[in-house]
């Protein structure tokens, strides 16, 4: 585990030699042991003192050595005042140890969602930490493997969302099976931490292809070419608001009158049909096809065109909006996954 706060690149300070293989072997063993001991956590977990671990830091080791040297000095000179100073330091160290551990006890840690990302981007897990006590908790930090979050305090009764960025490489689901919360308060002599096992997931869309062939042309269902800005002119009626409908189409006046959210429907909305089809993509590799489809969807949504998606096993009728885009991208992200995995999601 590294010290809290990533050091800026190019920091050439002296570092103690480490033994990465031994350390990681011990670390892995400790983590397995903790996982077995603690079991799976609920999405919202109170940190009990039993599951908070603590070890001295490098500074703490130097502090202990210093105090020991001062003890020897005091004994040598039989100097009662420097004995006092030495024992004050030793006691402060012991008090700091307990304070450090207690700084985490009884915090509530809960999962607060993760937005889908494209492969290659960092998945951002949001973890809410709540301090139910009447006293301030200092210098809290969340971390997943080597990636730490920002460091923040929590005032009495405060709640705060910490963001954990987890790098992704492949489409599908990014998992965060274990993350930790740690603190170095008060003097950075000790590091107290707790491991949490929640098996959090973040949907990862396929990476949009950098170079994609042009999408298939739009075809109107009745034979004429769909004009791009279609549907904004010919008002056809209302329907109930659905997730994903553009706020620009919400009938705000009607909402003000009746309190009911309605979306305006425009003529021809259901007749549009720019179909993105898996089988027709000009590529051999499945992943490449998915990547190209992703690019088309992203571009189409940016230019506010309606589109439908047809991949083996899934057909999504042409539509537009954030909800539609998400449905399509999710289908691409989970393409080829077994039903069991999808259900778990």
Partner 1 sequence: MRKRSGTDGSLLASLPWTLAALSFSLAPHVQYLPGWIPVAFLACAAGRWYIEKTRRRLPPAWLRVVLALSGFIGVFASYESVSGVGPGSALLAVMAALKLLETRQRRDQFVLLFISVFLIMASLLREQYIWSLPFLLAGLMLTMTAWLRMSISDEISIRDSFRTGGRLLLYATPLTLAMWIFFPRIATPFWSVPIDNGGVSSGLSDTMSPGDISSLTLSDAVAFRVNFASNAPPPSQLYWRGLVLPHFNGRAWSGNDPSIDLRAQQEIQVSGNPVGYQVTLEPTRQQWVFALDIPYQWSLERTFMGPQQQLMSVQPIDRRVAYEAVSYPSYSTNVNLSRMARSWYLRLPDDDSNPRTVELATQMRLSADSDQTFIEGVLNMFREQEFFYTLEPPALGNNAMDRFLFETRRGFCEHYASAFAVMMRAAGVPSRIVLGYQGGEMNRMGDYMIVRQSDAHAWTEVWLAGQGWRRVDPTAAVAPERIEAGMSAARFGEAGARWGLTAPARWLYSLGLTWDALNAKWNGWILGYGPENQGRFMQWLGIDDPDWRKMALTLLSVVLVLITAISFLLMRRYRPPKKDEAAILYRKFIRKVSVRPRTGETPPEYAARIMTLNAAPVDEVNTITERYLNARYGPPDARSLEALQRAVKNLSGSSKSPIRAL
Per-residue b or e along 74-106, where b marks 16 or more CB atoms closer than 10 Å to that residue's CB: beeeeeeebbeebeebbebbeebbebbbbbbbe
Total Cβ atoms within 10 A of residue 29:
10
Single residue of 34, 105, 254, 316 touching partner 1 by CB under 8 A: 105
* Cβ–Cβ under 8 Å, residues 194 and 181: yes
* Binding residues for partner 1 restricted to 128-147, rule: CB under 8 A: 132-139
Give min distance, CB of 48 to partner 1, in A: 11
Verify binding: residue 55, partner 1, rule CB under 8 A.
no
Nearest CB to partner 1, comparing residues 161 and 283: 161
Give min distance, CB of 5 to partner 1, in A: 8
* Cβ–Cβ under 8 Å, residues 193 and 182: yes
What do you get for the CA distance between the two ends of the chain, in Å?
A: 31
Single residue of 77, 235, 252, 255 touching partner 1 by CB under 8 A: 77
Residues contacting residue 315 through CB under 8 Å, at least 6 positions apart: 308, 309
Stretch that binds partner 1, among 71-79, 115-123, 193-201, 318-326 (CB under 8 A): 71-79
Two structure tokens written together for 309: 């998606």
Single residue of 79, 177, 246, 258 touching partner 1 by CB under 8 A: 79
| Total number of residues that touch partner 1 (CB under 8 A) | 58
Single residue of 38, 99, 121, 122 touching partner 1 by CB under 8 A: 99
Two structure tokens written together for 81: 């005042």
Residues near partner 1 (CB under 8 A): 10, 12, 49, 59, 62-63, 66, 70, 72-73, 75-92, 94-96, 98-99, 102-103, 105-106, 132-139, 150-153, 155-158, 184-188
């Amino acid at each position: 585990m590294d010290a809290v706060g990533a050091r800026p690149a190019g920091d050439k300070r002296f570092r103690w030699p480490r033994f990465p293989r031994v350390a990681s072997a011990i670390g892995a063993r400790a983590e397995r042991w903790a996982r077995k001991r603690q079991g799976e956590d609920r999405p919202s977990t109170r940190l009990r003192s039993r599951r908070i671990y603590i070890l001295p830091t490098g500074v703490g080791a130097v502090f202990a050595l210093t105090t020991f040297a001062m003890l020897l000095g005091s004994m040598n000179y039989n100097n009662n005042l420097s004995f006092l100073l030495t024992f004050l330091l030793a006691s402060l160290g012991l008090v700091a140890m307990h304070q450090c551990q207690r700084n985490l006890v009884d915090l509530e840690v809960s999962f607060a969602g993760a937005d889908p990302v494209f492969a290659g981007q960092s998945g951002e897990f949001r973890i809410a930490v709540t301090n139910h006590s009447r006293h301030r908790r200092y210098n809290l930090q969340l971390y997943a493997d080597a990636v730490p979050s920002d460091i923040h305090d929590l005032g009495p009764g405060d709640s705060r969302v910490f963001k954990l960025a987890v790098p992704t490489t492949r489409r599908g689901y990014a998992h965060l099976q274990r993350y930790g919360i740690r603190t170095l308060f008060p003097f950075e002599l000790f590091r107290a931490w707790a491991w949490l096992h929640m098996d959090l997931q973040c949907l990862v869309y396929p990476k949009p292809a950098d170079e994609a062939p042009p999408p298939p042309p739009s075809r109107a269902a009745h034979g004429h070419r769909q004009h791009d800005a279609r549907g904004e002119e010919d008002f056809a009626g209302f329907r109930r608001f659905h997730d994903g409908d553009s706020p620009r189409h919400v009938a705000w006046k009607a909402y003000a009158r009746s309190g009911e959210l309605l979306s305006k429907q425009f003529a021809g909305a259901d007749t549009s049909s720019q179909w993105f089809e898996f089988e027709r993509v000009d590529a051999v590799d499945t992943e490449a096809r998915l990547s190209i489809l992703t690019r088309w969807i992203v571009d189409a949504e940016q230019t506010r065109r309606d589109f439908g998606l047809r991949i083996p096993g899934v057909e999504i009728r042409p539509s537009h909006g954030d909800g539609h885009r998400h449905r399509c991208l999710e289908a691409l992200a989970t393409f080829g996954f077994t039903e069991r995995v999808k259900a778990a999601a």
